[in-house]
Structure formats: structure tokens, C-alpha cells
Structure 1
Amino acid sequence: MENMTVARVKGESTRQKSVLSNLHTPWNTHPFIFRLPTEMLEDIFIRCASDHHYKHDGRPIWAAPSWVNVSYVCHHWRHVALNCPTLWTYLFITSRRWREALLARSRQASLKIRGNLLALPDESRWLKMVETVMDHVERIQELRLKLPASYTTHQILSKLSSRAPRLQNLKIMVADSSSEWPSLLFDGDPPALHTLELSDCAVPLSSFKLNALTTLALHDVPVRFRQNIEEFLAALGCMQDLEDLYLYNALNSGTGFLSSAVFEYKNKIELPHLSCLLISAPLSTTVALLSCINFPLDTKTCLTCGLESSSFSDNYALLCSVLTQRYSVDEDQALSSPTILSLVIHVTYGSREVKLTFSESKIDCMDSVNQLWIPNSLLRINLVLEENDANRIIGNICCSMPLSNVQNLLVINPPFSPAFWRRMLGHIQDVRYIKLTSGNMPDLSVLSHTDLTALENEQNRTGVTGDQGQDRVLAPRLEDLVLECITFLSEGDSDQEEPAITRNCLFDALSTRPAQGHLTMTECWMSDSDDGLDLGLVWGECNVRVVYERVHSSEEEDSIDLEHDGSDLEHSDDTVY
């Protein structure tokens, strides 16, 4: 009797569960989340898988990622997930069961593979998956691999000899630069390949066709495998659709090429769609590439020029010549060509590094100066200079660019002489805003209205002539001069060849200017010789705002805010500790 009761209870329990399940099924059709169209659900699932796939950036995952749980929510979601082949093309697991399940569920959809074999505890486990997947190379759409210095690298690379008609994105980094590559990659013809990124490896570009390529990135090619300029240009000539070109320590020195007859008669390679160009190479290589490539004026360009001992001055002269030819436009092109509104000069003491940024937007702070791409920057040049060459070379490069429309000038660590400033301000006559930050105060006596003799002597020496007349003044439209973290020297620095520049020197220069303007000084260190300054001489009969901190020998800091309109002078003295 007792057993019969247990049987009835179990039967009733089963029946009740069935009733509840039958009730839940129609109930699940009422919430909005369960009434989404199948196509929308598939798109959501794929986005979850894609975000997880790229977020992990190829790091090994030893368990199924969280997005797989969408197939366990309900019968409807599971049906949608299992019938969406694209969802299972993001390969993520190493176990044999999951590997077979992924390949089966993805059916014939294109595969996206990311694998990082570097420093794995069980390299053979990951290798088995990679080898299995590489057997389906004809289905691979995206392949991103980080390979170690071991026997596995050759095993994987040997799989790359098969044809890959769907391959669009190939990114490979190899820790072992001596790895042997197949003589013919992808049977020499990956017709859909548009992105190629290679790091620390020597893939021969001539081993397969690159006609459809839109992005080429070569990073840290082993020295013994680097191509010379002529070989690279031959390969580049086939990439007419190229949009992004990144060359970082990828090519040999171009010194020999620049002195060869081939360079003199080399036809320029047309890259009409190029939008971003980054070159980090010896100076001669940079000059050779710029001389042999023709690309749009608005291409965002970043050049890092390594120092070369031979033909140093000649190569910099060639660089200036190339920049002049590239950015100088005639009247017909002036309306459609980009306009440079800001110039940033950043000098790094000790390393002799200089960064020049020419931007189409107004830049008045240094927050983004250290970024690779400053917003709207047209050209970025990073230089490594020899001793005592900063003034001359920076001046030559800047004056080779069309800067007549520059309104903002930002200089970081400005160790420049009056001759430099005469030349720069004579070239950017429309400048409205100058900011100097982090360094010693340069000699800005050239801002004086009476400093015409030195300017004329400089023009006569350089052969550059300008408008003559008593009303001529450098930077006549200057409205704001901002000094931030600048030190005024009461004694010159003989090692840096810097004269003694006090606050009085600056005010004396500004006091003779005919135009009105504003001066702002923030966190500047003043010399003791600035005591008793007559603020009535500041910048003529105009409104002047001066905010500065003065450091006494007792390390007490005074903050003073001054307003001067030529008649009334208001003081407010607040001590800041």
C-alpha cells in the first residue's frame, strides 16, 4: 500500500510539472524580450560573441565564455542560437568536444580565429586545436596568431600554404625571427585579403598578391630580413587601394637609394586613397619613401626619423625640400587643401628629441601632445637631433611648411634664441595665441616694435625679404601670450647658451607693441631682479591680465592678479602656501 502511494505521488508530481511547463511556454511569448524577431536575436547574440572574442585579444580561454549561455535561456533562444552558424565561428576553446561542436555548428560559415601560444603551460593542447582549425583554411576569414619560438611555429606556418579565398584579415606575431616561412603563402593568391599586420616576422611580401589590400602594418621586422627601399616600393606599387600604411622599424636605411640613379628617375607611386601614414625609420628611409609616394594632402601623417651619422645635414635638407614640394599649393588648390591652424613644438631635454605637430584645429593645451595622433593633426614629425642643431633644423622644417594661417603656437621647453623667434614669427605672421610651457624663458625681445634692425639683418643674411616700413612688427595680430611653468633667469646658463631673461626683459619688449593684447603667467618662477617692476609699461596702453606665482628665497609663494587699462591699476595680494 505504501509503495502504491509513492507511485501515485511521483505520477502526480510529473503531471504537475508537465502542466507548469505547458503554462510557461505560452507565458514566455508575452514578455517583450521573448517576442523579438529571430533576426534581431541573432544580431544580439553575434554582438555578444564578437565583443567577447576581441576583448580577450587572443588570450587562451580554457572554458566556454559567458555568451554561450544564451543557448540555455529557453527553448526558443536555444533554437535561434543553434541555427545561427555565424555565432559559432568565433573559435575560443581547446577541448576536443567543443572544437568539434564549434566546427559543426558553424557549418560552412567563415571562421574568425585568434590564438596566443606565447607562454602557455600546455602548448600542445592549444596546438592541436590550431592545427585542426587550420585544416579548414579555405573557410578562414580572420586569422590572428601570436606564435612562440618553438617547433610548433613551423607546424602551424606549414598550414598557410593552402589557398584561402575568404581570408580578409591576417595578423601574425612570431617570437622566433628565424622561423622558416612557406615559400608561397596561401597559394600566392588570397583575393579577399584587405588587412595585413606582421610583427617580429619576415613574411616575404612578394610571396602573395596584395592588390586588394587596404591596410598594411609592418612592425619590428628582424634586421636581416628587412627589405631595401627599391624592393618595398616594387611591392607597394601593386597596392593602389591602400588606405592605411604603418611601417615601424621595417625597412633598411635608404642612404644608398637616395644617392643612386634610380632615385633620381623613380616614378612616384600613386596611393590616392591613403588616409593614414606612419613611418618610423632612419631619416634617409623616411625621405626616400616621401619622395617616391604620391598621396592626398589631407592624409594624416606621422614621421619618426631615426638619427643617422652619414649625410645628416643633407638628408634633413632633402626632408625640408620634400615637405615644401608636398604641402606648397597653388591658388587653384588653396581652397581645397587643408589649412594648418596650430603648430606644436615639443623639445625633450636630455634625449635631444623634438616633436613637431601641424594641426588643422586650434590646440592650446599639452594634454594630447604625447599622444601618437593629436586630433585633426595633419602632420607629426618626431626627430632625434645632434648637438646644437635644434634651432636651425626646427626652423628649417617649420619654414618649409605653409604656415601663413597658423593662429595658435604651443612650445614646450623653449630653449630658443632671438634669431629663431625672428624667423618663426616672421613665418607665422597671423598668429593670435602663443603659449610657452615647462622650461626657461626664451629671449622674446623680437616682439618689440623697435626691433626692426635685427630683423632686417636676418632677412638680408638669409635672402628672405618682406614688407619694409615703419609700421612693420612681428606677429602683429598677437592677442594672447601665455606663460605656464616658465622660469625667468636672473643669470644666464653658459652650458645651454641661454642669456639672462627676467620678467622686466619681457615687459620691456611688450611695452612698445602698438596692438592690444593679454598676458597670462601661471606658476612661473621669478628672479629677484624683478622687484619693483613698473606694471604701467606692460604692453602699451591696453588691458593686461597677469597671473603668476613668485618664489622668494624663503620659499613663500605670492599670487597676484593684476588688471591694467592704462589709467587704473587694481591690486589683490593673496598668499598661497
Structure 2
Amino acid sequence: MDIRGKTTLVEQCRTDIDKDIAASNALRSRKNTLASIFSLPPEILVTIFTYIVEEENSKIYTGIPRRGGAPTSMIVTHVCRHLRQVALECPSLWTFIDCLSAPWVPIMLERSKQAALVVIYSAPRAPEYWPLVQLLSQLPRIKTLKLCTFSVDVDRILDCLSSQPAPLLQIFKYSLVLESHDPRISIRPISDTIFQGRAPLLRSVELAECAFILTSHVFSGLQTLYLIQFDSCPLTLSQLLSALRRMPDLELLRLSCDLSPRISEDTVLFDQVPLTRLRWIELNGVFRTAVSLFSHLILPVDAKFILFLTETESPQSFSDLFSAIYKNPDESFPIIRSLHAHLHDEVSVQFSTSSANISNSDIQFYISFDYDDNPAIIFDMCRMVLHCKIQTLSISTLYDLSQDFWCAGSAHLPELKSIILSSVPIEGFILAFMTVGASIAYPLLRTLDLEYVNFGCDEPEDLREIARMRAKGGVGIQKLRIMGCRNVTEIDVQLLEGVIADVDWDHWVWPGKS
């Protein structure tokens, strides 16, 4: 056979093989169509795809970085022809765009059609390769926009944000990565030109490390506001109050800034600002800032306070603070039933409306501050917080709290029923309870909970003697819980059970004890 004949035969074989492969693919495709998933209606498949995509995208909101590679919606299209077609016909699968989606942005914008977009951008090292301007051109159909850019890009970003209205925008976050060589004071402020003054659905704004002017009516519908401010472009109290006055629906306010250096004299005459719907306020700053701010706000009686304050000057600082918060003592404030204190490098005190099984919704007031004087300040605070009827006291500290500390607590907390101590040396505690005087310490105390306490040699016996004395006086301890404590033996517990009806011990014995 000549060469030409061999070539023809080879080509014929290739043709036959291609036909066999095509036939095999056709059979495989027909077989796949018999799979149970192909019997599902398209709307069910879309629901499944949406769940998968939303679960993966939700990791961005919780701070968990999404794995590299193609967007989840892109992966779905590579399973089979049928699933690809279903995915391509569902615009909502293509609406979540983050930094990892950069190579697919044009495709996702096309496939999302006119569906509302979620855009999350975090300052990549090479921003010129990320189509941010192209995405911001879609501003009229973005519902969530979270940006983190270098400070040198501010002008370009604000030009884009001011070029069109944002009729669907609900959540807006903008933070800056400040570079050491970049003069912060030159950063252009966010002003009332943003979104051309039209963002009727905007409900949540978070601004960090950037200058801002929030007096535009575009922010009047906000329910959540979070501001982080740097020193070189401070926000004055007057500016903040002017902004808050235009936000009557505000429910959550978080501020991390110091207003005090630029407080102007005109704020003395500034009308008080009512925030009648505020449920939660968080402030990170100095005491003077907090006092100045709260003295100009009218808040609901059930508003919750989370305060991280510095520059504590004296107990008078707390008196000024609570006087500014509780302007009308005749109002029906929630009753405070629990006091939880952590006494470490900083003092943190939590006042709660529940006396047991406390959840976040029960926390009425939380304050963390630097104060290295008398730790009994936590009891003085109980006189300043309205409607304090503390029944549960929980303390965590490595410091040795003195006998005077516990005596002060007995004087200030007459309704106390339960004490919880975690890692607390109890020498001063025992001395206060063993003192023979005109009155018994904490006369209503019925429950004592000790966690991770390092007992001294005679302290288990002293504790038993305290329980015996109280039982004899008709104010006995009814329940004792001992968990993770050192230097407690089974014999110690048996002796305690002789004077306390309910003793709960985890049987943990320090090595070497018996």
C-alpha cells in the first residue's frame, strides 16, 4: 500500500474513532439525564445553587477569607451542560463580587443582568488590575458596597461615588489604608455630594480612618452608624450632634473617636438631640468625650451602653458620666440585678437585668476603664446606676481583694443572693465573712460559686466555719459549687457537706493531695 493509501486509512480510522467518542458522549449524556437530579425542577436547582453560593459568600461577612479560585457560581457551571444552563439563567447567582472575582467581573456583570449587586473590595497590592471603576459605574444597582482603599485613591473613589445616585444601596462601608508617607490632613472628606444626594434605602454606614461630613439628607434614614476617626482630622461634637439630629431612626451607634480636643463653646448652648429609637450605643474614647456626648443626647430608658473609656481622673468621673446618661431619675429604667467585674490591667464592669443565665440581650451597661486605685469603685458605681438591685455578683481577678473591699460590697449590695468568684484569692473574702460584728456580711447570700480558686492551707476549714456560723445565725449558705480549685480534698468536701445542704464538687484534686 502506498503512502497516500496509508494516510487515507489513518484518517478514516480517526473519523471512526471520533464518531465512536461522539456516540459514547451522547450515551453518557443520555445516562446522566436519568440521574435523579435532572428530575428536579429548575427552580429547585436554583434554590440549591443559591444556598451554596450564599453560604460560601457569607464567609466574607464573618471575616473568614474565601478560598482562591473562581467564584462559587462559576464552579457550578462546570458540572454539566444542564446545570450550567440553569445557572446561566439565574442572574442572582452572579451578583456577589469580591477581590477574588476580579478576572471574572465583566462576565459576572453580564450574567447578573440587572440584579442588585454586592461589591466587596479590599485594597489589593496592584489596584490597577482590579476593575473598581468599572464596578462603581454600576452604582445604581449596588445594594451592598464595602470598600477598603489606599488613601491615594480617595479622590478617584469619591468622584465615582458622586457621579450617580444609588437608589438600591442599603449598606455602605468605606475604610482607608493609610500609608506612612501620606499626609492624612489632605484627605478629601466625604460630603453631601456622595451618591448625588440620592440613596433612599441607605440604612447602614461604616466609615473608618477617613474624613466625613454626615449632615446630608442622604444619611437621614440610617439605622446603623459606625465611625472610626483619626486625630489629624477630628470630628467636633457640634458636627456629630448636627449629623445625629438628622438620623431620627438610628438604632445602633458605634463611635471610636475623641471629640474633646475640638469641643467648641457653642455646644454648651446646643439643643439636646433625641434618638428615640436607639437600642445600642458603643463608644471608644476618653471619659470627657463620653460625658460631653451623653449630656447632649436624649436616649430611650432601655438603651444599652458599651463603653471603652480612658483617662479616668477620679470617682467624680463616674458620677459625671452617669449624671449625663440618667438625666431624669423618675423614668422607668430597667432593674439591674447582676454585677460582673473583671479586675485586671483594666477594669470592666457589666450590669445586667438578669440574675442568672445572662445573655447579650440582658446586658444593660458595660464599661471598661483604666483605674488602678481602689477596686471598690465597682460598688460605688452601683449607687450611680439607677434601679440597681444587685442579686448576683461575679468577680474575676488575680489580685488579692482586701477585707475592706468585701465589707464595702456588703454595705452597697444589701440584696445580694449569689457570689461567683473566678481565680480570686479568697483571704480577704474569708476575713470579711468571719468578722464578728453587729451585722452579718451579705445577710441574704445563699449561693457561693468558686472557680479556679487556689485555697490556702486552712481556708477550706475557714469556709466551713463561715458556713456553720451563718447557719447558726439563720442566714446559712444553701449551695456551694467548687470547680477546678486547688488544694481541696474529698475530706474537705465531706466536712463542708455537713453544714451546707448542696455541695457540687468536680472531684478535681491537685496532684500530691489526697
Shift of the alpha carbon at 1:75?
2.3
In the alignment, what sits opposite 1:570? none
In 2 relative to 1, CA 502–73 (structure 1 residues): closer, same or farther, beyond 3 Å?
closer
- SS state of the match for residue 439, structure 1? coil
> Aligned residues: percent identity?
25
C-alpha distance in structure 2 between counterparts of 1:282 and 1:110, whole Å: 41
In the alignment, what sits opposite 1:316? 318
Shift of the alpha carbon at 1:356?
0.7
TM-score after normalising by structure 1: 0.72
Give the letter aligned to residue 449 of structure 2. V
Q: Does 1:37 align with 2:41?
A: yes
Shift of the alpha carbon at 1:101?
1.9
C-alpha distance in structure 2 between counterparts of 1:383 and 1:187, whole Å: 42
Within 5 Å, give how 1:320-399 maps onto structure 2: 320-322=322-324, 333=332, 338-348=334-344, 351=345, 353-362=346-355, 374=360, 376-385=362-371, 387-391=372-376, 393-399=377-383
In the alignment, what sits opposite 1:64? 70
C-alpha distance in structure 1 between counterparts of 2:57 and 2:505, whole Å: 52
In 2 relative to 1, CA 544–186 (structure 1 residues): closer, same or farther, beyond 3 Å?
closer
Q: Does 1:237 align with 2:245?
A: yes
C-alpha distance in structure 2 between counterparts of 1:400 and 1:508, whole Å: 35
Query: Do the aligned partners of 2:483 and 2:506 also contact (CA within 8 Å) in 1?
Result: yes
Query: CA-to-partner distance for each residue in 1:127-168, whole Å, 9 max, x for gaps?
Result: xx112222222222222122124x334323321212222222
C-alpha distance in structure 2 between counterparts of 1:137 and 1:213, whole Å: 19
In 2 relative to 1, CA 81–99 (structure 1 residues): closer, same or farther, beyond 3 Å?
same
Match of 1:187 among 196, 199, 208: 196
In the alignment, what sits opposite 1:279? 283
Query: CA-to-partner distance for each residue in 1:430-463, whole Å, 9 max, x for gaps?
Result: 433212232332245554695337xxxxxxxxxx
In 2 relative to 1, CA 34–124 (structure 1 residues): closer, same or farther, beyond 3 Å?
same
Query: Do the aligned partners of 1:403 and 1:427 also contact (CA within 8 Å) in 2?
Result: no
C-alpha distance in structure 2 between counterparts of 1:556 and 1:91, whole Å: 57
Query: Do the aligned partners of 2:443 and 2:475 also contact (CA within 8 Å) in 1?
Result: yes
In the alignment, what sits opposite 2:419? 434
In the alignment, what sits opposite 1:252? 259
Within 5 Å, give how 1:105-144 maps onto structure 2: 105-118=111-124, 120=125, 122-126=126-130, 129-144=131-146
In 2 relative to 1, CA 358–24 (structure 1 residues): closer, same or farther, beyond 3 Å?
same
Within 5 Å, give how 1:389-468 maps onto structure 2: 389-391=374-376, 393-401=377-385, 406-413=390-397, 415-441=400-426, 442-447=428-433, 451-452=437-438
In 2 relative to 1, CA 434–61 (structure 1 residues): closer, same or farther, beyond 3 Å?
closer
Match of 2:475 among 507, 515, 539: 515
- SS state of the match for residue 451, structure 1? coil
C-alpha distance in structure 1 between counterparts of 2:37 and 2:159, whole Å: 47
C-alpha distance in structure 2 between counterparts of 1:449 and 1:204, whole Å: 61
Q: Does 1:196 align with 2:205?
A: yes
Unaligned runs of 5+ in 2: 179-183
Q: Does 1:171 align with 2:173?
A: yes
Shift of the alpha carbon at 1:241?
1.9
Match of 1:99 among 98, 102, 105: 105
Shift of the alpha carbon at 1:557?
4.5
Query: Do the aligned partners of 1:279 and 1:302 also contact (CA within 8 Å) in 2?
Result: yes
In the alignment, what sits opposite 1:483? 450
C-alpha distance in structure 2 between counterparts of 1:295 and 1:406, whole Å: 23
C-alpha distance in structure 2 between counterparts of 1:446 and 1:82, whole Å: 74
Give the letter aligned to residue 253 of structure 2. L
C-alpha distance in structure 1 between counterparts of 2:484 and 2:45, whole Å: 58
Shift of the alpha carbon at 1:239?
1.5
Give the letter aligned to residue 222 of structure 1. F
Match of 2:81 among 64, 75, 93: 75
Query: CA-to-partner distance for each residue in 1:6-43, whole Å, 9 max, x for gaps?
Result: 56555554554555555455544443322333223223
Query: CA-to-partner distance for each residue in 1:63-118, whole Å, 9 max, x for gaps?
Result: 42344121122222222221222222222468987332222222222222111225
Unaligned runs of 5+ in 1: 454-472, 491-500, 527-532, 559-574
TM-score after normalising by structure 2: 0.80
Query: CA-to-partner distance for each residue in 1:216-247, whole Å, 9 max, x for gaps?
Result: 1112x111322122221221122222222111
C-alpha distance in structure 1 between counterparts of 2:261 and 2:374, whole Å: 22
- SS state of the match for residue 224, structure 1? coil
Query: CA-to-partner distance for each residue in 1:287-342, whole Å, 9 max, x for gaps?
Result: 23333334444444311121155xx444321223345557x666xx5xxx645443
In the alignment, what sits opposite 1:262? 269
Query: CA-to-partner distance for each residue in 1:380-412, whole Å, 9 max, x for gaps?
Result: 111212x42432x32221233356654322111
Query: Do the aligned partners of 1:147 and 1:175 also contact (CA within 8 Å) in 2?
Result: yes
C-alpha distance in structure 1 between counterparts of 2:252 and 2:286, whole Å: 20
Aligned-pair RMSD on alpha carbons? 4.1
In 2 relative to 1, CA 198–268 (structure 1 residues): closer, same or farther, beyond 3 Å?
closer
Match of 2:292 among 276, 288, 291: 288
